[in-house]
Structure 1
Amino acid sequence: MRVYLPATVSMLRTLNASGELAAISGTAFALTPALRESYATGGDEELEYAAMNDAARASLRLLHAEAEADPGTLMRRAVVSADVDGAKLRPDLDHSVVRLAGPVPLKAVAAIHFDTSEAEDAVRAAVAVIDAADLGDPDAEFTLGDAEDHELAWYAVQELPFLLELL
């Protein structure tokens, strides 16, 4: 199953150094039957994109937690796509949520999706209001949308060390 793991730069550094990525609480996102049922139309590619966007939004929450501990946290969303076995559906949490059996090895990673530097200001603003957006604040949702308007850049797994070196 193709899954999308929300991440941060520090998590990408761990993936690069240790050769595996442990999703927070084992949580990832995927094209699940519940996600498919929640959309009236759309092919697999569009629904995979929706799952990846759910992971990118979760990356904002991870950035929020990191920024509280380290105000110097680089404000860029990251999503790691990987092909894994044993993911369990979690429709009680959301349509696209799955729980992973364990850490994802680097050899299972298909690609890295990462914000460009142009997104940093919008991501920083979204991180500041993510909780308010979750509670339905329309202004916060608008700010979140500004960050989500930035497309994540695609990187091959082999490019990860170079990507991190350039940050």
Structure 2
Amino acid sequence: MRIYLPATIAMLRDFEANGEFRARSGTAFALTPALREAYASGSDEELEYAALLDAARASLRLIGAEEKGEPRRVVISADVENVTLRPDLDAAVVRLDGPVPMSLLAAVHVDAAEAEEAVAAAAAVIDAADLGDEDAEFTLGDAEDHELAWYAPQELPFLLELL
């Protein structure tokens, strides 16, 4: 199953250094039966993208929790065998039973430098947006208007070197 792991630049550096990624609370996102049910229509590719966007939004929470973190959303895509579906948490949420080794990495998705200001602002108001604050939702939308860049697994060392 392809999963999408929310992360930060610091977590991505740790992944590269340690060769495995430990998801916060074991939480990842994926195209689950509950996510498929939540949409009236959509191809697998469109629904996978929805799961990736959920992970990107979760990345904002991680950025907001870091002191002096780099304001770029990071989503790690990996192909894993064993996950536990958690539709009680959200339609796309799955739980992992352990760390994800580098060998299962499928891709890395990272904001470009021009997204940093919008991402920093969104990370500061993500909770307010979830509670219905319209200004916060607008700020969140500004960050989400930025597309994440895609990097192949073998590009990870070069990406981190350039950051």
Correspondence for 2:143 among 126, 140, 147 = 147
> Does 2:122 align with 1:126?
yes
Q: 2:100 — aligned with what?
A: 104
**What is the rounded CA distance, in whole Å, between the counterparts of 1:39 and 1:142 in structure 2?**
23
Aligned residue identity for 1:46: E
1:39 lines up with 2:39 in the alignment: yes
2:94 maps to a residue whose letter is V
One of 80, 94, 97 as aligned partner of 1:84: 80
* Other-structure match for 2:26: 26
**Corresponding position: 1:62 with 2:54:** no
Matched position secondary structure for 1:95: coil
* Displacement after TM superposition at 1:62 (Å): 0.3
Task: Write the distance in 2 (CA, Å) between the matches of 1:48 and 1:113.
Answer: 13
Matched AA of 1:47: L
In the alignment of these two chains, the number of paired residues is 163
Residue 143 of structure 1 aligns to a residue whose secondary structure is helix
Q: Which amino acid aligns with 1:128?
A: A
Distance 2:11 2:155 in 1: 15
**Structure 1 SS opposite 2:107:** strand
Instruction: Give the superposition deviation at 1:138.
Output: 1.0
Match of 1:91, SS state, is coil
Question: So what's the TM-score if we normalise by structure 1?
Answer: 0.96
One-letter code aligned to 1:16: E
2:84 maps to a residue whose letter is K
Unmatched 5+ stretches in structure 2: none
User: TM-score normalized by structure 2?
Assistant: 0.99
Poorly superposed stretches of 4+, deviation over 2 Å: none
Q: Write the letter of the residue equivalent to 2:135.
A: D
The code of the aligned residue for 1:86 comes to N
Q: What is the alpha-carbon distance in structure 2 between the residues aligned to residue 164 and residue 131 of structure 1?
A: 29
